[in-house]
Structure 1
């Protein structure tokens, strides 16, 4: 393809802002052509998600276009009546958001989720689409519901739903977040093939320079409309080495033994965890790595008390830890907190960020009533967000900003253990390092135990003391990170 390929999307001088609030996007320009892939890059909060949503006429609540024009397939999106806009979305432009799991109906099985939007809903066509998106067909996945899928699997099901429409334009927000390196490379090849064979325009918002380099024909870099907050200060010293001291007693910290979890659908059993042992000493950082679907998220949900294991035991500081969070009491529930992979599905859309952060402060009584507002401001500063974010709601934030709010909410409980599921997947490299530097500082000052699930092996190598490697629901290796994942230069 050349630059003479037909133009299907044109954006000129686009400015989007909230009334009496911040500018979400300033002076954006974008041109999409058939058969070509365009990557949107830029730091978290620069407006990548806002621009993608604007292409389908879906602006954040209260936001308005202050200047500019959006032309999609010959239509002025901002002037289209509702019925024609719905037709455009359903048949010609497909959008896969950054938190695809929150957009999948939790009651529907995979085969129905894909058939629902398909131009050809036949079982064979559905299976071909799932295979094209690198999803397994021989382990019962097609009959599972979204809650029984890993984050990476949910992302690929959402991609299959989008492709089922046979769109002219495909919009993807962080399409490889939460996927291992091998799958990222496969998805890059898939996108390249789709653009060429289907003569489709593809635009993806992406923080992954490797993915951009592998498949993008053009790169559009967005600058933040707002100046980012200062990077949080942390104690100096070597990263990821604030671990347990020589005085720690055996059995202290968070541990699990013999965890078994099986998902059963229509008589087909899928073992998500098979005899998994896990341990993280007080003040240490433990990494959990493995391919998509290997059981990493299921392990974190069991540790957090959100999923009862079929077998196995949990202990915290050598004492039995009840399987479910609601059985742990207020104090026990506070001590182990989870930062999920898809924060949009867990942040109440009706609450402002300030209210979301204030609630755990009051619930767990970690802060005096008179000091709550000040503590909310401190928490936002800790994760690199301006104080003004407290007045905004989740849908008014970028994916990276929502992830940092989710981290701040977990920290508001003053936990002893913080379980982080792909918390840097939606962040640009500098922000990801800033967040992990923050967590490293908290480990040193609060003896916070950190459990980090990530496909970013360089980050796991730099910021953890020990690592557990999962494959097909089993721990295949565990031990010092320096031995199992030598630091990359």
Structure 2
């Protein structure tokens, strides 16, 4: 997607100076200063808790009475910080609009989409109901929704995730604002849907000349869409400038480390990804977190422009010329003397009403060898998670077989599923929702040991401590509750829980899609390392082809319940036979090697 470039001489539309946002004694944003010019797309990037969303909400005065906002927020020269509610209501939606991350939560489930658009229009215009309805239909058509007059009468739950996000864009545009703040608008969307939504946003930005602040943690999106980028860390702006300069020649070590840790289609698959702490350590040595938040901190002269290679070279002790062995047997199951898992002509149906059924998976077949990582990729609704449920014994297929070490596991009763549990385990997508907030970490990790082994309490505690240490956590965290842990730490707990019973097959279901870019590399490296050391076979399920390429030796691409293409990783990535696979590759926003080096 080509970038749009605003005229550099235009005065700022939005100017933020010395902004501070605090809740009680906790500072969410500290002394932040940056600006947006008319017609410009500015990316605001950083980890969770860096202050991105807090900054965006402060512009519209949406923090409520318990937040303390200091500094200056000027819109076209008019001060918004400290403005009264009447003034802010005249700004919200009319001059500055916001697109929220979760459209289903942001839209009213009890009102039709058209009614919500019409209401937003009438708040700022002296228009009758008919004119407002006409405006709603016009905006739905403008954002690419088919049959807009009919769909305006439908409710949010009747729209797909991508269509709901288009409705949010229509809501933001209904009053023709000068500025849109888009807060992670595509994080939960598949690659092709993300490309469609961002394409719509950029196209409309070009047509209308509005300015956009795009809040995201995705550097691939930043590189492709944004004119300039602002990097935040621990509430401070540590670096900002033109996108190409920041991505290719960052001067702050945190920015350099963030960019280096993003998987790229240019990377050698299987090589350990550089992590943020490692890159900062190589560039700067030990740096205190508070000092790292200093915008004046600079990478020392002579430091490499891109992240240095890991000291131990390619993964698995591979050749020094950069060729990296595949993650698992290069020739598939036959190379390992037989498949650990064989899926044959799997078909899965779900009842729809009393007399009909929906076929979620149709005729799916694949093998996974011992020690191999097999990638299963596709969009939401393609059938990936349904296949995973069958492998876990949680869903019986309508037809086909699943053989684990030669045993058919598709018709297991309760006792059979209990016997299957130690052999097949899962790492879930959501590290927040998959852990019981009322159970200590040690109890969560050790639950399987209590159910499936004869270990005593003391032995279980020792085993839990070993597991936590193996996934890079302090064993003392066994007594902590999940609320004390970050997202990356929680995902490590989930991995430790899955490893407790020493499974032969690990199913990783979108294990990094909910994590910040700085944490993704750590978790992916951990999974690769555990697979090598334990000889695990892994089914890696994702919609992100860049991540699947990095982790897997072979890949199957699913669409509408069927495998449309399967084969060696390099074959799928470099010479895809399916138009759908090519569309997925084209839709992905992978940061390029050119974006990492000036």
TM-score w.r.t. the length of structure 1 is 0.70
Cα shift at 1:123? 11
Please say if residues 280 and 286 of structure 1, whose CA atoms lie closer than 8 Å, have aligned partners that are also in contact.
yes
Match of 1:10 among 6, 12, 16: 16
| Contact 2:50/2:235, CA 8 A, preserved across alignment | yes
Instruction: Indicate conservation of the 8 Å contact 1:155/1:175, yes or no.
Output: no
1:132 to 143, 152, 170: 143
8 Å Cα contact 2:41/2:226 also seen in 1: yes
Distance in structure 2 (CA, Å) of the matches to 1:356 and 1:285: 31
SS at match of 1:219: strand
Instruction: Using the TM superposition, give the Cα deviation of residue 361 of structure 1 relative to its aligned residue in structure 2, in angstroms.
Output: 1.6
The alignment yields a C-alpha RMSD, in angstroms, of 5.3
Is the aligned partner of 1:393 residue 2:471? no
Task: Identify which range, 196-205 or 338-347, moves more after superposition.
Answer: 338-347
CA contact (8 A) 1:307 1:323 kept: no
Q: CA deviation at 1:103?
A: 3.3
Aligned to 1:479, the other structure's residue is in SS state strand
* Secondary structure of 1:364 counterpart: helix
Say if 2:497 is the partner of 1:412: yes
The equivalent of 2:528 in structure 1 is 440
3-state secondary structure, aligned to 2:182: strand
Residues 195 and 484 of structure 1, relative CA distance in 2, 3 Å threshold: closer
Deviation at 1:192, TM superposition (A): 1.4
Give the TM-score of the pair, scaled to structure 2.
0.59
Kept in 1, the 8 Å contact 2:28–2:54? The answer is yes
Q: 1:364 to 1:315 in 2, by over 3 A?
A: same
Query: How far apart, CA to CA, are the structure 1 residues paired with 2:470 and 2:112?
Result: 38
C-alpha separation in 1, matches of 2:192 and 2:202: 16
* Inter-partner Cα distance in structure 2 for 1:75 and 1:196: 27
Matched, 1:362 2:446: yes
**Distance of 2:36 and 2:413 partners within structure 1:** 48
Q: 1:29 aligns with which of 29, 33, 43?
A: 33
The correspondence of residues 43-442 of structure 1 with structure 2, limited to 5 A, is 46-52=50-56, 55=59, 68=71, 76=80, 93-97=97-101, 100=102, 103=105, 114-115=113-114, 117-119=116-118, 125=136, 129=140, 132=143, 153-161=160-168, 163-164=170-171, 166=174, 168=177, 169-177=179-187, 182-198=192-208, 200-224=210-234, 236-237=317-318, 238=324, 240-243=326-329, 250-253=338-341, 255=343, 257-261=345-349, 264=352, 271-290=359-378, 293-304=381-392, 309-321=397-409, 329=417, 332-333=420-421, 335-344=423-432, 346=434, 351=437, 355=439, 357-365=441-449, 368=459, 370-371=461-462, 374=465, 378=469, 381=472, 393=483, 402=487, 405-414=490-499, 415-425=503-513, 431-442=519-530
Give 1:241 shift. Answer: 2.0
Q: Is the 8 A contact 1:15 1:67 kept in 2?
A: yes
CA–CA separation in structure 2 for the residues paired with 1:50 and 1:323: 51
Do the aligned partners of residues 5 and 79 (structure 1) sit closer, same or farther apart at CA in structure 2, a change above 3 Å counting? closer
- Between 1:267-276 and 1:214-223, the stretch displaced more is 267-276
User: Looking at both structures, which has the greater relative contact order when contacts are Cα pairs under 8 Å and sequence separation is at least 6?
Assistant: 1
How far the C-alpha of 1:470 sits from its partner, in A, is 1.7
Which deviates further from its counterpart, 9-18 or 282-291?
A: 9-18
Unaligned 5+ residue runs, structure 2?
Answer: 1-5, 120-131, 237-253, 255-275, 280-309, 319-323, 451-456, 576-591, 594-598
Q: Answer with 1 or 2: which has the greater Rg.
A: 2
Partner deviation per Cα, 1:341-392 (whole Å, 9 max, x = no partner) = 45555556xx38xx4643422321378564588568637736x9x9799667
Deviation string, structure 1 residues 44-76 (Cα, Å, up to 9, x no partner): 66443454455566679xx96586455679675
The Cα of 1:437 is off from its aligned counterpart by 1.8
Indicate the SS of the match to 2:185.
coil
Unaligned runs of 5+ in 1: none
Aligned length: 461
- Offset, 1:473: 2.4
* 1:26-51 deviation digits (Å, cap 9, x = unpaired): 44334345543221124566443454
Question: 1:287: Cα distance to partner?
Answer: 0.8
